[in-house]
Amino acid sequence: MANHILKRNLRGVLLMGLVLGTVVPLEAAYSQGATPAKVVVAHRGASAYLPEHTLQAAAMAYAMGADFQEQDVVMTSDDQLIVWHDLTLDRNSDVRHKFPGRARDDGHFYVIDFTLEELRTLRVTEGYRLSDNGEEQQIYPERFPLWQGSFQIHTLAEQLELIQGLNRSTGRDVGIYPELKSPAFHHEHGKDIGLAVLTELKRFGYTNKDSNVYVQTFEFDELKRVKEQVQPALGIELKLVQLMGDDEDDYGWMLRPGGMQELAKFADGIGPEKGMIISADSTANNIIISTLVADAHEAGLQIHPYTFRADTGQVPAYARDFDHLLELFLVNAGVDGVFTDFPDRAVNFVKSQR
């Protein structure tokens, strides 16, 4: 987070710091209504347990009771929408073995250079990186083993069919949380991912603010275009979420006075990196909470930070454990929901607070 932002938030930081030593009235923090006041968003499915963005991971997250399922969406060369996080295929597939010679000059294999038919031939696995000597190193070593099982790339439509089918068979109403990945990159390649995703959502019946969906993106220009052009053209109006990191050039203005009010003209919520709410410089005895939650709420925006992971080394040292981390954010800082790779843990935590 930029220094000036921390300075601006200092008063809020101090005030919020006082709250930490007191008992927060949980009735105020958790509503008893039909719509959970605190939502659990399964980040890339139950990605702590099964390879991310597979239908199996989506089904597992559904069974774990997540309120929303996240779908990162990218486009193929033949304009199909697939559920996939990276613009490239390198981290989670065997593309370099199946399609040698199809990498770009930068050495990476891009989704947008492949047809859906080609992508369906790939074997999907847990995330890994290649070491300097070409060894595959699993990014989260305690997770599902590399190359075990049989997993494939699937389309946005296939995931929506799964979730809507489960909603029918279970009687639940689990929402979806699609992200437009790198819209500018898609535009540069002649593809309008905003229009394509919103058109697909409309086809599946997501048409208004009461529809159980949040559409998210890191790119404000695209969020604004979706709000002002794409949705009116389609005759729909969905809830939109502006994602943000700590990059001053892209997001600095949103954090300055009036920024949240300006955002609220286009968005219904924000999705900040969690360090923008509780500083990574916090210690067990000094939890530094910014005013971002208060600022967002004052502007009428929901706030769903990312990404909560319980893997070894992923819980910040200021928290005693993963549950304490959730407590600091959901109760003390007062966020409205969390993106997590461990939806079971977050669902259990939220239930324990009711």
For every residue of 106-160, DSSP letters joined together read TSPPBGGGS-HHHHTTSPB-S-EEE-TTS-EEESSTTSSPTT-S-----BHHHHH
Tell me if residue 43 is catalytic. Answer: yes
Which residue in 73, 174, 243, 303 binds ligand G3P (CB under 6 A)? 243
- Please, which residue, 16 or 61, has the CB nearer to ligand G3P? 61
Which member of 45, 52, 68, 72 binds ligand G3P (CB under 6 A)?
72
Reference 181, options 98, 110, 276, 235; nearest CA is 110
What is the β-pairing status of strands 39-42 and 68-75?
Answer: parallel
User: Quick one: 179 or 268, whose CB is closer to Ca ion?
Assistant: 179
Nearer to ligand G3P, 13 or 48 (CB): 48
Give yes or no for residue 339 binding ligand G3P (CB under 6 A). yes
Does residue 4 have an active-site annotation? Answer: no
Whichever of 179 and 327 has its CB closer to Ca ion, that residue is: 179
Are the beta carbons of 90 and 64 closer than 8 angstroms? no
Catalytic member of 53, 85, 186, 304:
85
The site that binds ligand G3P (CB under 6 A) totals a number of residues, namely: 10
Longest CA–CA span in the chain (Å) reads 61
Q: Helix count (H) and strand count (E) of the chain?
A: 16, 11
DSSP state of 274: G
Closest approach of ligand G3P to the CB of residue 15, in Å: 28
Residues from 197 through 236 that contact ligand G3P (CB under 6 A): 216
Structural contact between residues 60 and 155, judged by C-beta atoms closer than 8 angstroms: no
From residue 303 to residue 322, what is the string marking binding to ligand G3P with x (rule CB under 6 A)?
Answer: ---xx---------------
User: What residue ranges bind ligand G3P (CB under 6 A)?
Assistant: 43, 72, 85, 179, 216, 243, 271, 306-307, 339
